[in-house]
Structure 1
Amino acid sequence: MPVKTTILLVDCNEDTLLSIKDGLESYDRSYEVDWVKDASECLNYVRQKKPDLFLINIMLPEMDGFTLMEKLKMTDAKNAAFIYMTAKYDYDMIKKVNMLTADDFIAHPINIPELILRIQKIIIWRCYRKRPKAKD
């Protein structure tokens, strides 16, 4: 039986949330996708569950995605992977995302096949990093 990968979507646009959730779950049944509409709901969610991966819109109403990630890094969810969603896809945004140690980012409108590839890359990389080191 495949291991479930829990993904938490954080976006204030319900249509975007449902579209991404449907796209991911229809592609791979091992993805368990939950969603919340703002930073407060996200912080409450992580008190109960620990997602493997966060997909966070940078532009949230009460707190931007960067600040949310900083807060999440101070919780038990600190070891989760982070992918940012952004409508502003330029050098300054890429630099900021990389400085904050997010695992990846993707531009709006979200292309589901591209998102799936990015998620798979992160899962593979994290599995590789967890492997025991070879002894000489």
Structure 2
Amino acid sequence: MDSQPSILVIDDQPDNFDVVETLLDGENYQLYYASSGQQALSRLHSFQPDLILLDVMMPDLNGMEVCQQIKPSTMQAVPIIMVTALTDKEDLARCLATGADDFISKPVNGMELRARVRSILRIKQHYDSMQVLLKLREDMVNMIVHDLRNPLTSIVLGAQILRFPDLSPEQQQGKVEQILIAGQQLQSLIDSLLMMAKLESGKMVLNYTEVDLYTLCMSALADIEAIATQKISP
């Protein structure tokens, strides 16, 4: 990960935080501490860690109750490792049923803790990267779908004008060119959608070609001219 991963340790015993801090020393993590479940929930309103180490046995709100409140909220993507002295399989199953992603038994073994934290943070990093890609895809699709309106409008407008009986041959030819340019732009946008689908499937092959910037700029100007014509037409 590019920045220091942040870990929130929730435990009513400060000595346990010291133990975790010692065991994770040198791992380049930014550690934060909450001494109760309620304090942790209040803090999570303004702070989203990359991982939560959550003690199960706490007064007031125990770890399972805290987990049950975190997971249905906007914090559901934050992974939780339960730290528990419970050994009964049913109790451990309940920890996972409340939404915990993993658990580690007390007394905490340093090698096991480091391995589980690294594993969970690696999964979290992959999840975050996927969310960024999905957001980028959504933005691109919205942008392309929005841009489809311009060439479609230009084509419809040009076709409607061609129906006027008193158009000169030069005017007719101009509108035909306008429709052709808009159709080419529409085709380019559709090609972009298909290209994005290939990128997502990993089947994209890059072909480098020379681009005529003059033609590209003139095409963009023609598109803008078509839009401007639409706005000033009675």
Q: TM class, shorter-chain normalised?
A: 0.7 to 0.9
Alpha-carbon distance in 1 for matches of 2:95, 2:70: 15
Listed as ranges, the matches of 1:1-136 within 5 Å are 2-24=2-24, 26-29=25-28, 31-129=29-127, 130-131=129-130, 135=201
Extract unaligned runs of 5+ from structure 1: none
Instruction: Report the structure number with the largest CA radius of gyration.
Output: 2
Please state how far the C-alpha of 1:128 moved relative to its aligned partner. Answer: 3.6
SS at match of 1:47: coil
Normalization by structure 2: what TM-score? 0.52
Q: Which residue identity lines up with residue 26 of structure 2 in the other structure?
A: Y
Alpha-carbon distance in 2 for matches of 1:101, 1:47: 19
Please state how far the C-alpha of 1:34 moved relative to its aligned partner. Answer: 0.5
> Where do 4+ consecutive residues of structure 1 move more than 6 Å?
none
What RMSD, in angstroms, separates the aligned Cα atoms of the two structures?
A: 2.0
Write 1 or 2 for the structure with the bigger share of helix. Answer: 2
Extract unaligned runs of 5+ from structure 2: 134-198, 204-234
Contact 2:86–2:92 under 8 Å retained in 1:
no
Alpha-carbon distance in 2 for matches of 1:127, 1:134: 19
Closer/same/farther in 2, CA of residues 126 and 134 from structure 1, 3 Å limit: farther
Alpha-carbon distance in 2 for matches of 1:22, 1:77: 27
Normalization by structure 1: what TM-score? 0.87
Write 1 or 2 for the structure with the bigger share of strand. Answer: 1
Q: Which residue identity lines up with residue 58 of structure 2 in the other structure?
A: L
Which one scores higher on RCO, CA 8 angstroms, separation ≥ 6? 1
Contact 1:21–1:34 under 8 Å retained in 2:
no
Alpha-carbon distance in 2 for matches of 1:61, 1:11: 10
Please state how far the C-alpha of 1:10 moved relative to its aligned partner. Answer: 0.6
Contact 2:71–2:99 under 8 Å retained in 1:
no
